[in-house]
Amino acid sequence: MASQEILREEPSRGSFINDPRIRSLFFQTLVVILLFGSIWWIINNVIENLQRLHIASGFQFLKSRAGFDISDTPIAYTSDATYGRALIVGLLNTIIVAVAGIVIATIVGFIIGIGRLSQNWLIRKICTVYVEIFRNIPPLLVIFFWYSGVLAVLPPPRESIHLPFGSFLNQRGFYFPRAIWGDGSWLIGVALLLAIAMAWFVAHKARQRQRATGQQFPVFWTSVALIIGLPVLAFFLGGMPLTFDFPKQSTFNLTGGFWVKPEFLSLLLALSFYTAAFIAEIVRAGIRGVSKGQSEAAAALGLRSGPIMRLVVVPQAMRIVIPPLTSQYLNLTKNSSLAIAIGYPDLTATAGTVLNQTGQAVEGVFIMMIAYLVLSLVTSFVMNIVNARMALVER
């Protein structure tokens, strides 16, 4: 003990300049001084500039009248509404396009990614070509391609292209029948919920039975039958309370039906097809990351190829896939801000308009940054929960 104390109390032989603790303290003090100095300088400049340009500061402008129109409004909005409401409309539009894009990109990406590992030479090559094309061109270019190259040169409404199920495609966008639910349609909703509950119950019971007796029960087909069958039954019992509002062609335009504008359509298509190329690569890496021994061992245990994929390969591949998949979802959400280039009113576009009208650049950019950071955090949070469920459970 004594020798240790002596060692500890022995004064450093070098100069105090070489003491790492003093150095670290010195550098950090320097950084803090520099940081606060520049912040102080910037704030001073900002205040001075704002006064010179007669720009108000603070968030009061959120309550004043916006005075501009927004083309896509998921919630009620007129030009008499406030700036705050305009920003909320923009945020909702961003969320809508991001969620729809994530769903489509995931489906397309998984199909292409699995296709790249296919036994089939032709399918493998087609998927490779897709990935190599879309990975190497800017997303903005893809958006323009859909918007100015494909959708804008479609025929005018009078010569709309007829698609199945009474849908139309023309310069002004995509029209499809809108479902109108009549009286008694609540029964269908209730039936659907009931079916989902029953399917869950069946799955639970089947698992218990398999653990106890080893007998299997066709859970998947029972669930499909329940989830489709019960609502259909309710549909007929309720007297078929569903009618469709078909889009009708009039002289200059189409009326009725559900109308998807070309801005939304091109943004959605571009984002999903662009991101799908990256998701495909992630999926491929994930499946190849599961060693061949795993599937061979499963085959040796007597599992067939379906259960091998479902029970052995996919759960392990998902562990590799989910973290990069999350960052692709975040990228898609962030890339949705490219909407401003074609005039889809997402958060960046509306905040940009607000910023131009009020001149309150600091507050405008601040709101944008906070909104995207919150969206990113929420996405990461959800994906972290999924990841935790998938993670290796170690003893």
Partner 1 sequence: MQEHDMSWVRTEMALAQPAPPTEHGAYAWVRKNLIGSVGDAILTILGIAIVLWILPQVINWAFINAVWSGPDRTVCATVSQGGVQPDGWTGACWAFVNAKFGQLMFGTYPIEERWRPILVGILFVLLLVPMLIPRVPRKGLNAILLFVALPIVSFFLLVGGVFGLPHVETPRWGGLLVTLSLSFVGIAVSLPLGIMLALGRRSKMPIVKWLCVVFIETVRGIPLITVLFFASVMLPLFLPAGVTFDKYLRALIGVSLFAAAYMAEVVRGGLQAIPRGQYEGADSLGLGYWQKMGLIVLPQALKLVIPGIVNTFIGMLKDTSLVLIISMFDLLGVVKQNFADPNWATPQTPKSGLIFAAFVFWLLCFGMSRYSMYTERRLDTGYRR
Note whether 361 binds partner 1 by CB under 8 A: yes
Find out whether 185 and 242 touch, Cβ atoms under 8 Å.
yes
- State yes or no: residue 180 binds partner 1 (CB under 8 A): no
**Binds partner 1 (CB under 8 A): choice among 12, 19, 31, 159:** 31
Number of residues in contact with partner 1, rule: CB under 8 A? 57
Among residue numbers 43 through 82, which ones bind partner 1 (CB under 8 A)?
Answer: 45-46, 48-50, 52
Alpha-carbon gap, residue 51 to 45, rounded angstroms: 10
Strand, coil or helix: 15: coil
Select from 21-29, 96-104, 254-262, 264-272 the region that touches partner 1 (CB under 8 A): 21-29
For residue 268, give the H/E element and its range: helix 262-289
Task: Kindly calculate the radius of gyration of the chain based on its CA atoms and give it in whole angstroms.
Answer: 29
* The binder of partner 1 chosen from 341, 343, 383, 387 (CB under 8 A): 341
58: left (phi over 0), alpha (psi -120 to 50) or beta: left
**Could you give the CA distance from residue 227 to residue 18 in angstroms, rounded to a whole number?**
73
Identify the CA nearest to 40 among candidates 28, 48, 29: 48
| 17 touches partner 1 (CB under 8 A) | no
Two structure tokens written together for 22? 């003093």
Cβ–Cβ < 8 Å for 371, 347: yes
Shortest Å distance, C-beta 370 to partner 1 = 9
DSSP 194: H
In whole angstroms, give the CA distance from residue 129 to residue 275: 15
CA separation for the pair 113, 127 (Å, rounded): 8
Nearer to partner 1, 176 or 278 (CB): 278
Based on the shown chain and the rule CB under 8 A, indicate whether residue 96 belongs to the binding site for partner 1. Answer: no
Question: Which residues are CB-neighbours of 310 under 8 A, at least 6 positions away?
Answer: none
373 touches partner 1 by CB under 8 A: yes
Q: Closest separation between CB of residue 125 and partner 1, Å?
A: 8
Q: Does 119 bind partner 1 (CB under 8 A)?
A: yes
With residue 370 as reference, give the H or E element that holds it. helix 361-390
- 362 touches partner 1 (CB under 8 A): yes
Comparing CB distances to partner 1, the nearer of 60 and 118 is 118
Tokens 């709309």: give the residue: 160
Comparison of 24 and 210: residue with beta carbon closer to partner 1? 24
The interface with partner 1 within residues 321-340 (CB under 8 A) comprises 330, 334-338, 340
Task: Give the nearest distance from C-beta 213 to partner 1 in angstroms.
Answer: 33
Q: Contact residues for partner 1 (CB under 8 A)?
A: 24, 27-28, 31-32, 35, 42, 45-46, 48-50, 52, 118-123, 126, 132-133, 135-141, 144-145, 148-150, 152-153, 330, 334-338, 340-341, 348, 352, 355, 361-362, 364-365, 368-369, 372-373, 376-377
